[in-house]
Amino acid sequence: MTGDPEVVLALALGVLFAAGTFLVLRRDLVRVVFGVLVLSQATNVYLITMGGIGGVAPILGHGGETTDPLVQALVLTAVVIGFATTALLLVLVYRTYQEHGSIDLDDIQGAVR
């Protein structure tokens, strides 16, 4: 297998994780949600690369080197779980906004403490 697509994916993963981490550390709660989203998507991309890329579809009789289908099943599960938790998180952020009148964590913490 050639290295090229994997190098591109590795670089993309680095950028995604960096962006996700940066966003999670923001004060704005909505950006934190985006950060969590980016992080979980980056994880999914990483999982896909674990199964190898560039092989053919793993169907009996297609021949040639196949891609591992198991990681794709894992990613499907992870995507579904991520979808549900993100929806819940968005609702919680909205409720936090309703209760505190702000989504800036410094404002909220200052009011609570």
Q: Does 92 bind another protein (CB under 8 A)?
A: yes
Residue 8 in contact with another protein, rule: CB under 8 A: no
Angle between helices 69-100 and 105-112 (to 10 degrees): 50
Contact with another protein (CB under 8 A): which of 1, 65, 69, 85? 85
**Cβ(47)–Cβ(77) below 8 Å:** no
Pick the stretch among 1-9, 32-40, 59-67 that binds another protein (CB under 8 A).
32-40
Burial class of 88 by CB neighbour count within 10 A (0 to 12, 13 to 18, 19+): exposed
Q: How far is CA 93 from CA 39, 90, 97, in A?
A: 18, 5, 6
Q: Which of 66, 67, 72, 96 binds another protein (CB under 8 A)?
A: 96
Q: Give the one residue of 7, 8, 11, 88 binding another protein; rule: CB under 8 A.
A: 88
What does the alpha-carbon distance between residue 93 and residue 107 come to, in Å, rounded to a whole number?
14
List interacting residues with another protein (CB under 8 A).
24, 29, 32-33, 36, 39-40, 42-44, 46-47, 50, 70-71, 74, 77-78, 81, 84-86, 88-89, 92-93, 95-96, 98-100, 108, 112
